[in-house]
Structure 1
Amino acid sequence: MSARTMRTIGALAAGALLLSGCGGGDGGDAAGSGGDWTIPSSDPEASITVVGHLDPVAEDMDDVVAAFEEEHPSVDVTYQQVPFDDLNSVLDSRITSKSGDPDVFWVDQPRVSALATRGYLEDLTDQFGDLTDGLQEATVENSSYDGKLWSLPIANSTQVLYYNKTLLEQAGLTPPSTDPDERITWQQLKEDAAAAKAAGATYGLLFGQPNRYYQLEPLPVSAGGGIGAEGEGNLTPAVVDEGWVDAMTYYGSLYADGVSPRGITAEQTDATFLEGGTAYMVQGNWLVPQLADSDVDWGAALNPVWEGGEPVTPNGSWSVGMNPFSQNKEAAAIFMKWLAVDGESGYATNRSFSELPANTAGLESYLTSDAFTGSEAGQQAAEVVELESTTTGVGRVATVGYVEFEDIMGRAFSDIANGSDPAAALESAQSQLETAWAQYQ
């Protein structure tokens, strides 16, 4: 019987990170060392602690851990869930304590450079550098910084425009297309979502991750703006150009006009769409298996494009990193290798609703699973996922200041959704970023 425990950790600190300067937390000496440990050929007797944002039951992390422990019975894993929005502050507090807890943690790929610079990640280059051939190249790049591998990719992502066929038929609307030449515009989507709501839908349009940069980056970029930063090291904030203002004015209008609902969090959006009262939802590929098991009569289309702009989708996802102060690095490495590299990826194969696997063999199996092949809608989704992930993906801004960027922009997006003037909110965010990034200049 496994001794692992699974519990939700509340936020240990609020607000901005405690660190100031690139070597913050006094972890800088550990970063870059690579250590003198190896990935052992046989399992040690060890216990490791793993921190991630996924729910142990609802998102199958208990199944992932159980499968690992069945194959590696001498390594006991304690998995602890931390809400996504609290992950920065929790890791900041626990890693800088130098206790070695947690041993392994989930790393949002755009944060790799910031976490590595702060000394929060063990350099994995020597141990894993020759084991990444079976992983998608883009995910390895997203997990690297300054020529070194700092985390091990377990997932990638793209976005799909899902729609409720019953609600569209009720409103007399033509479903959006999977044909790149007939991709729906954001402007048309707002009109159609409003019409669906007027015809009886509870909600017109949901974003899977409202007020988060990952979800909203395609809007300003497709509208002709930039990714949000420029210059050396992407440390000059750039969120006040015409494309950003236009895109965020549009975003705010969705809420002001009642097309999109306020008050529904990212943790609630999937369940909301699955209830059947929402006409459209922009969400990741991970929604497909849930829809396949639901009673919703659904379809899938390409992500919208800004009128007159180029199509853009977000990519990147999660990696796993190792605490440089871990006292169980060899056992931690065995777990990480099993999650990402072994077979078709232990992480992907033991979850029902996983992201796109970074493991190439796992990706092939993922897109040929019943969820994607068992219905017309699933086949539409597979077509969209393949096209978007190979042709329209734009990575989130790569900078050592990403953690501050994500936090500051998230607050600006929330203010805009709640009625603040978009231009003023972006000007304020620009000023906050300039102050926060002064430490890196």
Structure 2
Amino acid sequence: MTGPRRVTRQDVAREARTSAAVVSYVINNGPRSVAPATRQRVLDAIERTGYRPNAIAQALAGGRSGVLGLVVPDVSNSFFSALAKAIEDEVFQEGRVLLVGNSAESAVREARLITSFVERQVDGLLYVGVGHHAPVQEAIRAGIPVVALDRRDRFSGIASVVVDNFDGAAMATDHLIAHGHRRIAIIAGPSHLFTSVERIGGWRKALKAQGLPNDESLFVEAPFSRAGGYEAAIKLFARGTADAVLVTDEMQAFGVLAAAADTGVEVPRDLAIITFDGTEQSMYSVPPLTTVGQPLAEIARQAVSLARAQTTERSRHVMCDVELIRRRSCGCTTQIRENHQVPTELADKGGTWRPPSTEDLTMTKSVGLIASASLAAAALALSACGASPSDDPNADATITFVAPHKGVFDEAVAAFHEEHPNIKVEIQILPFTEIAAQTQARLGSKDTSIDVIAVDPPRLPSLATKGFLKDVSADQADMKDSLTAGGISSVTWDGKQYGYPLWTSDNFLFYNKSLLAQAGIAEPGADNASRWTWDQTLTAAAKAKSAGAQYGFAFEQVDAYYALQPVIMSMGGGAGLEGDRNLTPAIDTEQWRAFGTWYADLYSSGLSPRGVASAQMPDLFKNGSVAFYVAGPARITDLQKSGLADKWGMAPLPYAAGGKVVTPTDSWAVAVSNFSEHQAAAQELARYLSLSADGATSTSTKFNLPPVNQKAYPKYIHYIDGVASKQTGQYGTLLTTDTDEHAIRRPSSVGYIDFETIVNKAFADIRNGGDPGKILAAAQDTLKRQLSQYK
């Protein structure tokens, strides 16, 4: 038996005594006009026949389906289900429909869902990705607007709507600190997710600012699930190290509460808890959860607005407000009603419970919309700190930026120019080996053609003392808010700031997996606890050479004090400069001579290549000639793009047996010339490259060096994980450990340039077969004469 036949346009046309085409013109309001009397006959016929237009056919004829697609990683997660509901409400208001796909944290399933939505010709695609790069290019090629939610992938160029996870985590941690907690742990999500690394970064920032520990005993990584939170809490309880915890996902927090109930841990008396997300479920847990709430309705409104565009707005990124909603899990006694029952704890001393005010319940962190206009406004606000009344930052200017890093600053400078169209930046690249001498000579003659200079921090005191660099101490407050203390220290001389730091650094032990396997050598561990000694490293290197490697070991920065200082100091030597203002040389010592012998043996034995310069070292490792190789993180992307891709690994920098672990730190900064005729414009650029999270992220991901900008750092770690996730799984943790526990700066001295030049030549002479003792003694005498001019 069949149902009633569907009424068609032909039926309406017969009833109205006209053609089907005219019926179509009436229904679609065109494209041709219809006489009023005929239009009325058609409308009457539609009512009599009960005709209903085919909405899908209508929409497709007009180039729109009336449908949006949403892909989430776990529809059972309370946050994602609440987000889907908020988006569906927004879409419904527009008379459209939302299709929701559950990727189940599977990249394969995510790709199939996106393909399915594209085939259904959705008007827009919203997605929460499961990895670094969701397969959305198919949708983009089809002209479908794409918007990333929650887990923004900055490097995909896709429009996004997120909250400030970094500031939200810092705000939550600050709140726990205000309660008196000093051992604040974090239960983080998977480290490959951008959301996780940002929340970890905010947690670390807040603890570091108060000098509180953020060591590995306080860190647990877990899936965003109840089971993940439960298992993470059991691990944390077993360690017994924490009195409070920031849980980075609400589902995890429900698992933590369950684990606490099962093990007799009382919340908040034994363990205070703050979590993220702030869905309705957090109100009804026991105890109710203090949470960093995300404004779901606003996220939905912004996302649907972006998806309404006919083309993808690649540069548009929206950041919504977060708020700290205080309830009992953190220790706050002021709370709201739950389950229609009067809480057992009372909000006032009189014993009568009353709902707290909005001010009591919520601390709002307003971060707003990040777009070109807001960044420009922020930059202009900053410019008021240092510009003189006669130096107008809005005046048209062309400035010259001198740097040794080709291609590193191009993208950031282009973005800066979009926000400061009145300022044109010309990048002048000088070779790394020549930039110091050339800038010194040009600034010494008061050359006005240099406006912004890339400066290696140990050289900054000399340039500042000679009056070459602008004092930018007026920006110290902004530096403290945005940058690490170590970064600020690197540009500080005599209590003043003479530059804006960009990056920090470290060295690692890279290795060729094939050469180690060929020699039967077990790969070194990737974490701090597995760090090899230099004896272990060179023994393994000799074994690899015997098994067929051309060379067993090599430093990338051959003869460079930066690379060799950690080895010398781990062997018990000093930095080489000491005394008042670091103007007394101390390289002719027993420890330095012992190092000299050790360094000479690397080359005399053939373990390391004697006749190869630093510039050729990367290719020597990439072509499979070297088993072990000491280099910095700037090498990571280069290695993964080479023929050695996935055939290399990285481990911590070795240390001397019986000695302390020492790692290098600091990297380049940018400074403003005191002779620039456009100091306000030059300072705007310097601020953008250092203090702006977007500027710092751009340069750090191009150069692969970790930024000192605290909000850019999580983005950088996320980027590196996407480049080589197998090799860099421990990189973020190891970098933090090295920076906090093992890093030693090169000495600050007005004589540092002389010192480095003379010492590097001494290392080269030792490498080429000279007697270490005689060479160091001669270098010591030369340094005494050279440095005496500064005393």
TM-score computed with the length of structure 1 as normaliser = 0.86
CA spacing shift, 1:217–1:358, aligned 2, 3 Å: same
1:185 to 533, 537, 559: 533
Any conservation in 1 of the 2:701–2:716 contact (CA below 8 Å)? no
CA spacing shift, 1:327–1:384, aligned 2, 3 Å: same
How far residue 54 of structure 1 moved from its aligned partner, in angstroms, is 1.0
3-state SS of 1:105 partner: strand
- Please identify the structure whose Cα radius of gyration is greater: 2
1:329 matched to 2:679: yes
How far residue 167 of structure 1 moved from its aligned partner, in angstroms, is 0.8
3-state SS of 1:337 partner: helix
1:238 to 586, 611, 633: 586
1:428 matched to 2:785: no
Q: Could you list the runs of 5+ residues in structure 1 that have no partner in the other structure? A: 1-33
Q: Tell me the distance in 2 between the aligned counterparts of 1:40 and 1:154.
A: 25
CA spacing shift, 1:50–1:289, aligned 2, 3 Å: same
1:110 is aligned to 458
CA spacing shift, 1:381–1:200, aligned 2, 3 Å: farther
1:48 is aligned to 399
3-state SS of 2:729 partner: helix
Any conservation in 1 of the 2:527–2:734 contact (CA below 8 Å)? no
1:418 matched to 2:768: yes
1:204 matched to 2:549: no
Any conservation in 2 of the 1:46–1:331 contact (CA below 8 Å)? yes
Any conservation in 2 of the 1:53–1:87 contact (CA below 8 Å)? yes
Q: Which amino acid aligns with 1:432?
A: T
Any conservation in 1 of the 2:483–2:710 contact (CA below 8 Å)? yes
2:517 is aligned to 169
Q: Tell me the distance in 2 between the aligned counterparts of 1:323 and 1:41.
A: 17
Q: Tell me the distance in 2 between the aligned counterparts of 1:371 and 1:389.
A: 19
Q: Which amino acid aligns with 1:66?
A: A
Q: Tell me the distance in 1 between the aligned counterparts of 2:511 and 2:541.
A: 10
How far residue 42 of structure 1 moved from its aligned partner, in angstroms, is 5.9
Q: Tell me the distance in 2 between the aligned counterparts of 1:366 and 1:238.
A: 38
Q: Tell me the distance in 2 between the aligned counterparts of 1:81 and 1:395.
A: 26
Q: Which amino acid aligns with 1:162?
A: F
Any conservation in 2 of the 1:39–1:334 contact (CA below 8 Å)? no
2:639 to 277, 286, 291: 291
CA spacing shift, 1:292–1:40, aligned 2, 3 Å: farther
CA spacing shift, 1:35–1:432, aligned 2, 3 Å: farther
Q: Tell me the distance in 2 between the aligned counterparts of 1:80 and 1:368.
A: 30
Q: Which amino acid aligns with 2:401?
A: V
Q: Tell me the distance in 1 between the aligned counterparts of 2:757 and 2:736.
A: 31
Q: Tell me the distance in 2 between the aligned counterparts of 1:360 and 1:294.
A: 30
1:3 is aligned to none
Q: Tell me the distance in 2 between the aligned counterparts of 1:83 and 1:248.
A: 28
1:314 is aligned to 664
3-state SS of 1:140 partner: helix
1:257 is aligned to 605
How far residue 36 of structure 1 moved from its aligned partner, in angstroms, is 5.8
Any conservation in 1 of the 2:387–2:680 contact (CA below 8 Å)? no
Over the matched positions of the two proteins, sequence identity in percent amounts to 36
Q: Tell me the distance in 1 between the aligned counterparts of 2:687 and 2:444.
A: 25
Q: Tell me the distance in 2 between the aligned counterparts of 1:70 and 1:167.
A: 48
Comparing 321-330 with 190-199, which one deviates more in the overlay?
190-199
Q: What whole-Å deviation, never above 9, does each CA across 1:108-150 have from its counterpart, x for those lacking one?
A: 0111211111112111112x22210210110101101011000
C-alpha RMSD over aligned residues? 2.1
Q: Tell me the distance in 1 between the aligned counterparts of 2:590 and 2:492.
A: 32
How far residue 300 of structure 1 moved from its aligned partner, in angstroms, is 1.2
3-state SS of 2:599 partner: helix
2:476 is aligned to 129
Q: Tell me the distance in 2 between the aligned counterparts of 1:406 and 1:273.
A: 26
Q: Which amino acid aligns with 2:543?
A: A
Any conservation in 2 of the 1:249–1:422 contact (CA below 8 Å)? yes
3-state SS of 2:749 partner: coil
1:225 to 551, 573, 580: 573
**Number of equivalences:** 404
1:150 to 489, 492, 498: 498
1:363 matched to 2:713: yes
Q: Tell me the distance in 1 between the aligned counterparts of 2:432 and 2:723.
A: 31
How far residue 386 of structure 1 moved from its aligned partner, in angstroms, is 2.4
Any conservation in 2 of the 1:154–1:345 contact (CA below 8 Å)? no
1:119 matched to 2:473: no
How far residue 323 of structure 1 moved from its aligned partner, in angstroms, is 0.9
How far residue 382 of structure 1 moved from its aligned partner, in angstroms, is 3.1
Any conservation in 1 of the 2:554–2:608 contact (CA below 8 Å)? yes
1:390 matched to 2:740: yes
2:625 to 264, 277, 291: 277
The 5-angstrom pairing of residues 29-48 of structure 1 reads: 37=388, 43-48=394-399
3-state SS of 2:541 partner: helix
